[in-house]
Structure 1
């Protein structure tokens, strides 16, 4: 990029190593615990979008004893050529017609979020399956060490499915102040995705402690609200649940009045936007920025609100 006093989106063509590794906080928020966990949140967001369109029905997140993190999800296969483009962070480029509508390169979370996580790792491995065939790609400090190659014989898929993709990475200790993942943070994130996409099966495992949790919410936010209020006297037996679509948006809402102080949680897609205290109710609200027919393009995640700030319509793309 030529030296200039201005810097626009036209200057960005791909997620080059110097750009991301030189300013990691610009991509994940900070280089502390928050930024570290964003590496995994980016990966989970990619799974969320696949689940939203009905492709992913199962995902498993694991933290290894050596500090690595691994995410496997069903329903997604990346052809070797496409996989190579993804790990290089080519999502900002003008895409060729050969990359179809369902290409990972056309999804913000897969083409920008996941590559950011890979670039900020000390090493990574990506495996993808289609039927009984498997391809593998690995890298060090963001550099892919070789072209994607077919694995023979192929490993069994971690979860029985026709297609799947697995990402393993070790965060770079030279870029982050800490590389220790918090199990509660990651387990909570898996739980959020499970109830925000009803019917998705999630499995979180922490091999450091042996903790293993399976998560499934067929009833979505309403089922999660029942779980939260199980030990609280309720004013009505079941949450009041709504699922409304209009003008390209979808809102799922569940309300439960209780004989105790409660909270209000609000999500924009997967982003928790605002939490407030109320005297006698617990509420869940969720708003999606995808047309009801499911055919719309994925939107970039809304910008984060300042801590403690009010919800604002300006956060919507």
Structure 2
């Protein structure tokens, strides 16, 4: 083969951008072309609605799995105009639906992380065979329709509107995904977490795909309610009546921590941890700080009240955690992670702040509730004595 045939130069480079790039390599934008990537489309679209609601202080987001295989997501916050916001440079809805990195999701402690890739509406539009959007704003409705990311018509007036909000419906492209059938359980689990971790957010999920069986499940509450659900699933009998919990902000870590936990008569420790409403399955500094502080607070209380004898083993974090079910949520302006998958939270300030807050609040709770505290210590000591 000649040198000319082997030569690699600029003329051989093929640049693909925007929607073409998304459709050429969909897995790069949603993680996979299997069920995980399919559900990422929903989370990407939901991210805009949820964060608009949270920035407003709370409200509903309604999700419907339609009978024809689509997903409808509706909110009642002020509708996003289709056009860009002039000199302010804020991209309008049409730009968000057609351009990468236009109007990416907000960041910071008051934003919920749904879209792991931060690309949102544009990716869902590009990977859908069809997408329609309706905006209700200033007493008027406007609509637009897309096919595989390309606008079929300009935004068009559609009559008067009662209230405000945005409704977006999309149908995943069967040419892009191994399956286009959404799992109700996968979506319900994530929506339940979001609603529990963000008090004031109300999410409903309706499944219209089975004739005669359509129903709506609603998710709302707070972290203590989340813990109660987890305890019901796990079984076991609580050792003490009260759920121990608190929420506090700390400027040293530029964020807040919220915790709820309770011991029961099981042998397993279960800690569900989150950073900015995203699961951290590998734990991290917030979990390390929580476990260390819990062990310190219980040990200090037990020693002060002479609830331990010389024969008792040391009450380390593993022993204190036996039978514990906990929800630990931190919300940070600038979260740091120990890897690209965001499965483990980093940051020395997070650990020290969580540790201090947990030690103080748990110590105070034990002092205020001596009967329940005695039951907790007795449960831990008896459990440790079996080793």
Q: TM-score range, shorter-chain basis? A: 0.7 to 0.9
Cα distance, 1:229 vs structure 2: 2.1
The answer on 1:248 being equivalent to 2:254 is yes
Q: Specify the alignment match of 1:59 in structure 2.
A: 61
Cα distance, 1:228 vs structure 2: 2.5
C-alpha spacing 1:272/1:150, structure 2 compared with 1 (3 Å): same
Distance 1:4 1:222 in 2: 61
Q: Specify the alignment match of 1:183 in structure 2.
A: 184
Alignment check: 8 A CA contact 1:86 1:111 kept: no
Of 15, 19, 22, which residue of structure 2 is paired with 1:20? Answer: 22
Alignment check: 8 A CA contact 2:238 2:264 kept: yes
SS in structure 1 opposite 2:326?
strand
Spell out, residue by residue over 1:53-93, the C-alpha distance to the aligned partner (whole angstroms, 9 max, x if none).
Answer: 2355101111011110111112141112011111112535x
TM-score, normalised with respect to structure 2: 0.64
The answer on 1:263 being equivalent to 2:270 is yes
CA radius of gyration, larger in: 2
Distance 1:229 1:106 in 2: 33
Of 133, 145, 148, which residue of structure 2 is paired with 1:126? Answer: 133
Structure with the largest fraction of strand? 1
Distance 1:189 1:211 in 2: 18
Q: Specify the alignment match of 2:241 in structure 1.
A: 237
Q: Specify the alignment match of 2:362 in structure 1.
A: none
Cα distance, 1:50 vs structure 2: 2.2
Q: What is the 5 A alignment of 1:276-291?
A: 279-290=322-333
C-alpha spacing 1:150/1:21, structure 2 compared with 1 (3 Å): same
Cα distance, 1:271 vs structure 2: 1.6
The answer on 1:313 being equivalent to 2:346 is yes
C-alpha spacing 1:199/1:116, structure 2 compared with 1 (3 Å): same
Distance 1:184 1:192 in 2: 12
Alignment check: 8 A CA contact 1:266 1:285 kept: yes
Q: Specify the alignment match of 2:75 in structure 1.
A: 73
Q: What is the 5 A alignment of 1:1-317?
A: 16-81=18-83, 82-91=92-101, 104=103, 107=106, 112-154=119-161, 162-209=163-210, 210-217=214-221, 220-230=222-232, 232-246=236-250, 247-260=253-266, 261-274=268-281, 279-290=322-333, 303-305=340-342, 311-313=344-346
Aligned pairs, how many? 278
Distance 1:269 1:229 in 2: 23
Alignment check: 8 A CA contact 1:204 1:212 kept: yes
Distance 2:127 2:49 in 1: 19
Structure with the largest fraction of helix? 2
Cα distance, 1:267 vs structure 2: 1.1
Bigger mean CA offset, 242-251 vs 194-203: 242-251
Spell out, residue by residue over 1:259-304, the C-alpha distance to the aligned partner (whole angstroms, 9 max, x if none).
Answer: 123421111213211168963111111121238xxxxxx999x942
Q: Specify the alignment match of 2:368 in structure 1.
A: none
SS in structure 2 opposite 1:229?
helix
Alignment check: 8 A CA contact 1:48 1:193 kept: no
Cα distance, 1:23 vs structure 2: 0.8
C-alpha spacing 1:147/1:203, structure 2 compared with 1 (3 Å): same
Q: Specify the alignment match of 2:380 in structure 1.
A: none
Q: CA RMSD in A?
A: 3.2
TM-score, normalised with respect to structure 1: 0.78
C-alpha spacing 1:50/1:212, structure 2 compared with 1 (3 Å): same
Q: Specify the alignment match of 1:95 in structure 2.
A: none
C-alpha spacing 1:303/1:239, structure 2 compared with 1 (3 Å): farther
C-alpha spacing 1:232/1:111, structure 2 compared with 1 (3 Å): closer
C-alpha spacing 1:259/1:52, structure 2 compared with 1 (3 Å): same
Runs of 5+ unmatched residues, structure 2: 1-8, 84-91, 108-114, 284-317, 350-387
Cα distance, 1:16 vs structure 2: 1.0
C-alpha spacing 1:191/1:312, structure 2 compared with 1 (3 Å): closer
